[in-house]
C-alpha cells in the first residue's frame, strides 16, 4: 500500500509540473510584451496581469523582478548560442554570414526593449563565453576560406551585432527590413579588399569594460 500511495502522489503531481512550466512560459512572454511597451521600469504586477495569473503564481516562478529579467536574458543568450553553434557546423566559410543573418532575424522578431535587458543581468556568464568562442570559430573559418579579410577580429563582429540591434530599434515597424540592407553593407565591408583599415580593432579588454556598462 505505501508504494501504491507513492505512485498515486507522483502521478497526481505531473500535471502540476506541466501547469508550472506553462505558467513560466506565459509569464516570460508577458514580461517581454510589458517591458517592450512600458520599459524596464514596469512593475511585475503588470506582467502578472498580462499573463492572466495571480501575483502568487508569479512569485512562485520568479521570486523577484531581477529573477524574471535573468530568465529573459538566459533564454535569449541560449537562443543566440544555438544559432552560433548551428552555423558553426558549416565548414565552407559561410557560417559567419549565416549566423549574422539568423541573429538579425532573432533580434528583429523580438521587441526592442528585450535587447537592453542584457545590461541589467549577469546571469549565465558561461553562455557569453560560449557565444564568443563560437563566433571566433565562425570568423576563423570565414577567413580560412577568404570570405572575410584577415584583419577582422571577434570584437568587430560583436559590434556588427550591436549595430544591427541599433538599426532594428531605430526603424521598428516603419522599416522592419532595414536591418537586412545594413547587414548586406556590413558583410560587403568584411570581404577581402585592398583598402587598408587604418583604425585598430577594439581590444577584448575594452569590449569587456563596455559590456559591463551596457
Distance, CA of 83 to CA of 85 (rounded, Å): 6
The pLDDT confidence band at residue 33, using thresholds 50, 70 and 90, is confident
Using CA atoms in the order 162, 167, 169, 170, what is the torsion angle rounded to 10 degrees?
140
The pLDDT confidence band at residue 29, using thresholds 50, 70 and 90, is very high
Q: Which residue has the higher pLDDT, 166 or 48?
A: 48
Q: In the prediction, which pLDDT does 185 show?
A: 97
The pLDDT confidence band at residue 68, using thresholds 50, 70 and 90, is very high
Mean pLDDT of the residues in the chain:
86
Global pTM reads: 0.81
The pLDDT confidence band at residue 214, using thresholds 50, 70 and 90, is low
Q: In the prediction, which pLDDT does 114 show?
A: 63
The pLDDT confidence band at residue 6, using thresholds 50, 70 and 90, is very low
Residues in the chain: 214
Distances (CA, A) of 204 to 122, 153, 154, 196: 18, 9, 8, 22
Q: Which residue has the higher pLDDT, 78 or 16?
A: 78
Q: In the prediction, which pLDDT does 50 show?
A: 96
Domains and CATH numbers, the chain: 1-63 (1.10.10), 69-213 (1.10.357.10)
Q: In the prediction, which pLDDT does 190 show?
A: 96
Q: In the prediction, which pLDDT does 208 show?
A: 78
Q: Which of 137, 130, 189, 181 shows the shortest CA–CA distance to 159?
A: 189
Q: Which residue has the higher pLDDT, 37 or 15?
A: 37
Amino acid at each position: 500500500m505505501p508504494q501504491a500511495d507513492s505512485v498515486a502522489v507522483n502521478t497526481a503531481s505531473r500535471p502540476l509540473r506541466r501547469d508550472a512550466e506553462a505558467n513560466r512560459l506565459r509569464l516570460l512572454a508577458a514580461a517581454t510584451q510589458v517591458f517592450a511597451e512600458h520599459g524596464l521600469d514596469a512593475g511585475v504586477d503588470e506582467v502578472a496581469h498580462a499573463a492572466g495569473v495571480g501575483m502568487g503564481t508569479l512569485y512562485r516562478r520568479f521570486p523577484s523582478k531581477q529573477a524574471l529579467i535573468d530568465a529573459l536574458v538566459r533564454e535569449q543568450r541560449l537562443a543566440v548560442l544555438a544559432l552560433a553553434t548551428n552555423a558553426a557546423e558549416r565548414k565552407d566559410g559561410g557560417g559567419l554570414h549565416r549566423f549574422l543573418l539568423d541573429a538579425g532575424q532573432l533580434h528583429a522578431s523580438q521587441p526592442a526593449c528585450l535587447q537592453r535587458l542584457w545590461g541589467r543581468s549577469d546571469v549565465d556568464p558561461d553562455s557569453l563565453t560560449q557565444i564568443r568562442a563560437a563566433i571566433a570559430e565562425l570568423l576563423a573559418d570565414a577567413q580560412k576560406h577568404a570570405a572575410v579579410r584577415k584583419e577582422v577580429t571577434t570584437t568587430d563582429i560583436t559590434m556588427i551585432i550591436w549595430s544591427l540591434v541599433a538599426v532594428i530599434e531605430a526603424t521598428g515597424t516603419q522599416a522592419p527590413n532595414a536591418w537586412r540592407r545594413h547587414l548586406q553593407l556590413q558583410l560587403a565591408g568584411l570581404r577581402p579588399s585592398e583598402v587598408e583599415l587604418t583604425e585598430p580593432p577594439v581590444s577584448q579588454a575594452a569590449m569587456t569594460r563596455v559590456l559591463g556598462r551596457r
